[in-house]
Amino acid sequence: MSFSLLRAPIRRAASCWIASQSSAQKSAQNIHPDSANTAVKSGVQAAKVKANFVPTKEDYQNVYNKIAELLDEAGDYDDGSYAPVVLRLAWHCSGTYDKDSKTATTLQCVLPRSLSHGANAGLNVARELMAKIKEEFPWISYGDLWTLGGVAAVQEMAGPKIPWRPGRIDGVAAQATPDGRLPDASQGSDHLRKIFGRMGFNDQEIVALSGAHAVGRCHTTRSGFEGPWTFSPTTVTNDYFKLLFNEKWVWKKWNGPKQLEDKSTGTLMMLPTDYVLVQDKSYKKFAKAYADDNDLFFKDFSAVVAKLFELGVPTEQWVTPEPWIMKNVDEK
């Protein structure tokens, strides 16, 4: 994987770069070459942060603005916006982290072995969009680009501000995680706790993250499931939680995998992993709180998405000690 910042001209703080790279190389001896490569990149990234040899917030705002422009160029794709699939890309590329082994710290689904994982079906749409941004801004890492895309997607769909900061480096082939680290929508509450617990999330955070299903839809050609969760699949609201409680959900009669549909219109769907939020006692109290209070949902959703996008990244790699708040396009 490329990390174009490493190839930028380096005139300031050259001795710091050299010393850091040498140290990283020594610490990476006697381990797999790909892991050694990432160790060197991490050391160099930390040196750049220390030397303040990084693009400015304005540079990243320009990237955000360009992403936001592309989100609305979807035409007839899905519900007229690329934002939901771009958000899904950012989530899947952050959601394979393991807090115990400290593996999958940045963008493992950018790696060849991960592209064939079933949960990543359809992400080529978002990857091709991000490739256009990468061509225009080659200095940004894929890790920063794709998570910034997720931030733009949430905010441009009328969602809350998501604190974000740059400093991620991209993974290499040896770090690709095995299939199965992302949630299986056909499972129950224990499965969710296992998957999200591996990343370090508690029950409240699991429910808040599930609120991302306020947007987007499933496709039979990808997951096998079909349909949107809400009537406004390109707007972030707490409608997902409201619908879970206010609609009557019945099992869909069809030849596809088990999913539920709303009895009143038959046009909405819920996955088994969605429905457990109103069945599991612990999950239910948080889901009900979010159904009753959109502001509370926005506050907790913002915090947990920001946490998701930073999983496993060493503190010294961050460009700024405190995350930034990126401006929406209508705030430029």
Which are the catalytic amino acids?
Answer: 92, 229
Element (H or E) spanning 262, and its range? strand 260-262
Q: Residue 26 and residue 29: Cα distance in Å, rounded?
A: 5
Joined together, the tokens standing for residue 53 give 């040899």
3-state secondary structure of 319: coil
Distance, first Cα to last Cα, the chain: 33
How many whole angstroms separate alpha carbon 227 and alpha carbon 225? 7
- Count CB neighbours of 54 within 10 A: 18
DSSP 98: B
User: What 3-state class would DSSP assign to 296?
Assistant: helix
Crossing angle of helices 294-309 and 83-94, in 10° steps, is 50
* Spatial contact of 42 and 21, defined as CB atoms under 8 Å apart: no
Beta bridge partners of 262: 249
CB burial readout 56-94, b (16+ within 10 A) else e: eeeebbebbeebbebbeebeeebbebbbbbbbbbbbbbb
Of 124, 113, 112, residue with least CA distance to 86? 124
Which SS3 state, helix, strand or coil, does residue 124 take?
helix
Contact 160, 302 (CB under 8 A): yes
DSSP codes, 210-268: HGGGGS-EE-TTTTS--EESSS-TTS-SSHHHHHHHHS-EEE--SSSS--EEETTTS--
Helix/strand/coil for 5: helix
Beta carbons of 67 and 133 less than 8 angstroms apart: yes
Single-letter amino acid code for the residue at 97? Y
